[in-house]
Amino acid sequence: MPRAFTPKVITANALLEGDAIWFTENNEWSRDIADAELITDETHADLRLIEAQAFADQIAGAYLADAKQTENGPAPTHFREEFRTRGPSNYHHGKQAEA
């Protein structure tokens, strides 16, 4: 039995900077997930993903990510997406700090 559709946002990486970005209702990319369009319909999500992928000159790797509505806008429901909202992890940590 197929899984029920859960709300999604469209995310990708900015092509030049590598930052995590989110697709808005206005067909723009934002570096703040709170600006993202929260999509609650599976068919609409599929269509919006196709529209987002048309920005191939600006983005890399667009995909649908699980999200939920909060009083501050959409928020991630998975730790991977939560991590991506914090920006690039280009500081030394873990094994990098030992080098």
The 10s digit of each residue's pLDDT in 85-98 is 887 666 655 555 56
d(Cα 41, Cα 60) in Å, to the nearest integer? 24
The 10s digit of each residue's pLDDT in 72-87 is 999 999 988 888 888 7
The 10s digit of each residue's pLDDT in 35-52 is 999 999 999 999 999 999
- Domain ranges for the chain: 8-89
Q: Which of 34, 37, 43, 13 is nearest to 23 (CA)?
A: 37
